Structure 1
Amino acid sequence: MSSCNTSIPQPLIFVLAGIPGLDSSQGWFSVPFFLVFVTAVIGNATILCIVRMEKSLHEPMFLFLAVLSAVDLSLVTVTVPRMLGIFWMNAKEISFSACLTQMFFIPLFYVMESGILLAMAFDRFVAIWHPLRYTTILSNNVLVKIALAVLARAVAVLTPAPILAKRLGHFQTHVIAYSYCAYMAVVQIACGDISDHIVYGLMVLVASVGFDLFFIILSYGLILRAVFRRSSWEARGKALSTCGSHLCVIALFYSPVVFSVLAQILGYHMAPYLQIIIDNLYFLVPPMVNPLIYGARTKQMREWVLRIFRCHSE
C-alpha cells in the first residue's frame, strides 16, 4: 500500500534520477557505459554479418546465435543512449508516453533473450540426444516457429505493463529513482493500492525468467545424463565442449537476477544505488560479453574474426 498525504496528478513529464546517491560520480559511470555500448554494437553486428555471409553457419545453433545478437543489439540501443544522455547532458526529463514505451521495450528484449537462451538449451539437448535427427527436428520451419513463440510470449506478458501504468492516477513525486523507466520504479512512486501491480510484476518474472531457467536446468540435467552414459572420456569431453559457450552465457545472464531475488528473499537490503547498478547489469553486460564468449569458444567464429583482421591489416 502506498498512501500520500499530498499527491500530484499524472505528470506529463517524469525526471529520471540516473543513479541516486552517486550524482557526483555519474560522469565516471558514463565511460564504462559508453565502452560497453560500443563493444556490444561492434560484437553483435560482427556476429550477424558472419552468420549471414558464411553459408556453413546456416544451422540451428548459429541461427539462434544470430537472433540472440539481434536482440542484444536492440537491448543496448534502447537503454544505453538514454543513460548516456543523463550522464553527459543531464537530459533527465522523459515524457509520460516515452516512459511507457521504454517500460515496454526494455523488458521485452530482456524476456526475449531469456526465451532464446531456452531455445539454445533445447538445441543442445537435441544435438546430444538425437544427433542423427538434429537437422530434421530443428528444421527452418521449426526455428521460425520457435522465434515467433519467443516474441509472442514476450509481447503477451509485457503488454499489460504500460496499460496498467497508464491507469495510475496520482503520484508522490515525478522523479523516478532510476536511469530508465522501469515498471516497478514507476509503480513505487504511485499513490494508492499497488498490490495488484506487485503481483503482476512477480507473475512476469515467474512466467519468463523463472520458467526459462527451470527448463534450462532440466535440459542440462538430461544432457549430462546422456553425456555420462557415453563410454569414452573423449566422447564426453567433445559433447560437453559444444555446450561450454552456452553455459557461460546462461551463467552471466541469470546471475544478477538470481542474486537480486535471493537478496530480497533473505531480507538483505542493498543501497539504492547498488540495486540500480545491478539492475543495469541485466541489460548491459550480456550484450557486450556474449559475442566475446562465442567468438572465443567457437572455431568457425574465431576463423572469421581472424580473417577480418587480416583483411584490415593488409
Structure 2
Amino acid sequence: MIRSYAAFEPKGTLKPHEFDPGPLPAAEVEIAVETCGLCHSDLSLINDDWGMSEYPLVPGHEIIGRVVETGAGVTHLSKGQRVGVGWFAHSCLTCQHCMSGDHNMCGQASGVAASWNGRTGGFADRVRSQAAWAVPLPEGVDAEKAGPLFCGGITVFNPLVQYGIRPTDRVGVIGIGGLGHLALKFLKAWGCEVTAFTSSDSKADEARGFGAHRVVNSRDKAALKAEAGRYDLVLSTVNVPLEWSSYMAALAPRGRLHMVGAVLDPMEISAFSLIGKQKDVSGTSVGAPSTIATMLDFCARHGITAQTEHMKMSLVNEAIAHLEAGKARYRIVLENDF
C-alpha cells in the first residue's frame, strides 16, 4: 500500500489516502520518497484551474528519493540509487519526438503531476515512474534542496538550451519568485548580462544576490520605456497578465519574449511589434530527461540550488496556505514523515 495525501474535490483540503498501486510494470521503478517540492502548479491542479484534474488527486512533482524496486526491464537503475522525478513520469519512447530527444513533447506523455492515467504524485511515501524519467542525482547536488530543480529549475533552464542563449546575450527575467530566482542563478552562471524586472523594491537586493546585474521596477513606466531595444531574451515567470507591449519594445532585433509562467489570459501583442525587428514570442514547459541531466550537471558545477523552506509532509495543508499567501521564499520542500 502507498500512503499519501490527496485532494478529493476541487479546492479540497488534502487528506490521508492509501491505495494499492498493483504490480510494478516492467519499465518502471518504485521510489521511496525522501522529499517533494510544493509548486504553484500543485495548487492549480488541486483547484482544477486548468480543467484537467482527476480525483482523488495526489499532487507533487518535485520528487527526490531512493529506488526501492525495479521492473524486470530496467537495467540502468539499481536499488538504493537516489533519483529525481519531475512533472512527467512516462512517455512512449518510440514516437518521433521521443526518438529525437523531445520526450516531454510526446503525445502519450503523462506524469505524476496531474494524476492522470492512474498516476499519483510525490506527496506520498512511495511513487512510481518510468525508469527513463527517473534521473539520477549527480555528486555535488544537494539532495535536500534538489526537488525544485525537477520542475522550477528545468522550466527556466530548458529555454537556454532550446534557443541557444549565448553568454554574450542580455537577458531580462520578469518576476523574482520560485521560478525567477532560479532563472537569475542560471543566467549569471551562463555568463549573460542579467536584469531582474520586479514589482517589489524590497526584492532588489535579493535579486542582485541571486545574480542580477541590474534591477528594474516593473511598475515604473518610465524605467520600462528606457529599456527599449536592449534584450535578446525576456523570460516571463509570472502567472498574471502584464502590459506585454512594454516588454516587446524592450527586445533587441531578433529578440524573444518567452513565457514559462502559466498566464491564463490571452496575450495582446500587435503584429507590427513582431514584424519590424523580427521578434518572437514563444513558450516552453519542462524538459526531456537528457536536458534535466544536463541541468543537474550544470548545478553541480556552479553550486546552484533553489532557496528553500522545509516543512514536514504531514503539514502539507499549512504549506499550501503559506504558498497561497505569497509568503514562500522561494520554494517549499516537504520532508517525508509517514
More helix by share: 1
TM-score range (shorter-chain normalised) is under 0.3
The TM-score, its normalising length taken from structure 1, stands at 0.27
Rg larger for: 1
More strand by share: 2
The TM-score, its normalising length taken from structure 2, stands at 0.25
Question: Per chain length, whose mean CA-contact separation is higher, i.e. which structure has more relative contact order (CA < 8 Å, sep 6+)?
Answer: 1
